[in-house]
């Protein structure tokens, strides 16, 4: 259970907090507060959008129709149920995503149905959070053979490359502000 606390996201959040503390100790209190006010929401967005992966067997698929909205519109939502290697259940949605340039949800759903029938292990790449309260489910981005290294996806490479630039810009920008507006 400890491995969840060694996630890249939690290490990055700890780095934001330590960075703000260092700025505060260097008597750049206003810059430290602004760094926290900018960094924590940025981290939440990054953690929500960050792709992650799970390897296991797909135990089932289902299509559910949503309740009508205010205009009476409904939509079909595809769900993929999975048992990961720790034998824990994972429930995932399969939606097209403009953010991930994903327009192949039908192919992904077909691959999931095939993996269910064949009882084969797969690696699923997904993003978003799971929330019981809000009925949020992670969204499947792609699937591949079991043990496939997730960096085969150009989307993942692009995301982490841009993330590197984003976080280097964040830390170097606030370091420069701390030196410029510090009282020392």
| Domain edges within the chain | 2-49+159-181, 54-150
Lowest-confidence range among 39-48, 64-73, 98-107?
98-107
Eight-class DSSP state of 119: T
pLDDT the model gives residue 20: 93
**38, exposed or middle or buried, with CB in 10 Å at 0-12, 13-18, 19+?**
middle
Summarised one tens digit per residue, pLDDT across range 129-138 is: 766 666 778 8
Q: Which two tokens stand for residue 120?
A: 């084969």
**Nearest in space to 143 (alpha carbons), one of 168, 106, 88, 177:** 106
* Between 23 and 183, the higher pLDDT residue: 23
Question: H/E element holding 11?
Answer: helix 8-25
Q: What CATH fold (topology level) applies to the domain 54-150?
A: OB fold (Dihydrolipoamide Acetyltransferase, E2P) (2.40.50)
pTM, 2 dp: 0.75
* Between 2 and 54, the higher pLDDT residue: 54
């Amino acid at each position: 259970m400890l491995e969840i606390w060694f996630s890249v996201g939690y290490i990055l959040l700890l780095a934001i907090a330590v960075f703000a503390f260092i700025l505060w100790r260097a008597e750049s209190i206003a810059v430290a507060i602004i760094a926290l006010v900018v960094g924590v929401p940025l981290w939440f967005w990054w953690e929500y959008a960050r792709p992650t992966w799970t390897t296991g067997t797909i135990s089932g698929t289902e299509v559910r129709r949503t309740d009508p909205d205010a205009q009476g519109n409904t939509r079909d939502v595809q769900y993929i149920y999975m048992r990961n290697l720790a034998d824990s259940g994972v429930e995932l949605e399969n939606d097209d995503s403009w953010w991930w340039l994903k327009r192949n949800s039908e192919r992904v759903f077909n691959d999931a149905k095939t993996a269910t029938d064949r009882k084969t292990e797969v690696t699923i790449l997904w993003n978003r959070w799971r929330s019981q309260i809000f009925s949020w489910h992670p969204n499947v981005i792609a699937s591949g053979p079991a043990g496939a290294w997730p960096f085969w996806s150009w989307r993942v490479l692009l995301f982490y490359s841009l993330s590197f630039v984003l976080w280097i810009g964040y830390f170097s920008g606030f370091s420069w502000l701390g030196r410029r507006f510090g009282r020392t």
